[in-house]
Structure 1
Amino acid sequence: METDNLTFETALKNLEQVVDLLEKGDLPLEEALKEFEKGVKLARFCTRKLNEVEGKVNLLIEKDGGEFILEEFKISEGE
């Protein structure tokens, strides 16, 4: 699976489809293995994209007074 031209949203949707196929358990072993490999590539792509975005968010947090500081981006539970 080529991921170079995928958006995060498209990759995530494709990953969800792979998971659905594998969860059904109807695929022959060879086809299931191909889908699993495709899913691993998509999951790695999504993880890489999320890490890139997290890094950008960390760099763009502005402190009072106009200076920029590096802070860890945290999502509180329940959001």
Structure 2
Amino acid sequence: MAAAKTFESQMARLEEIVRLLEKGEAPLADSMKLFEEGTKLSAALGKLLDTAEQKVTVMLENSEGELVEQPFEAEDAER
């Protein structure tokens, strides 16, 4: 059974694909295959990031001094 690829290994592969395509040395057919693989990796990585973002929560203290779990809001982090 093949091990699931980690986010980091998929990102490393995507970076490798970008470097290969930027060189412009691969034949057109190979470049197209690399582009397709990169597009699939990019979509998969985007989904992983979306899922991770949905899991992030922040612990806030309410008026009684109790910690209350709240969803993380990106706008709150910028303030």
Cα offsets for 1:17-50 (capped at 9, x unmatched):
0000000001111110000000001111111111
The one of 43, 59, 62 aligned to 1:62: 59
Count residues with an aligned counterpart.
71
RMSD, aligned CA: 1.8
TM superposition score normalised by structure 1? 0.79
Runs of 5+ consecutive residues of structure 1 not aligned to the other structure: none
Structure 1's consecutive aligned runs of 4 or more residues displaced over 2 angstroms after TM superposition are 73-76
TM superposition score normalised by structure 2? 0.79
Q: Which has the larger radius of gyration?
A: 2
Contact 1:15 1:43 (C-alpha < 8 Å) held by counterparts = yes
Q: Counting strand residues as a fraction of each chain, which structure ranks higher?
A: 2
Q: Which has the higher contact order (CA 8 A, sep 6+)?
A: 1
Aligned-residue sequence identity (percent) comes to 34
Runs of 5+ consecutive residues of structure 2 not aligned to the other structure: none
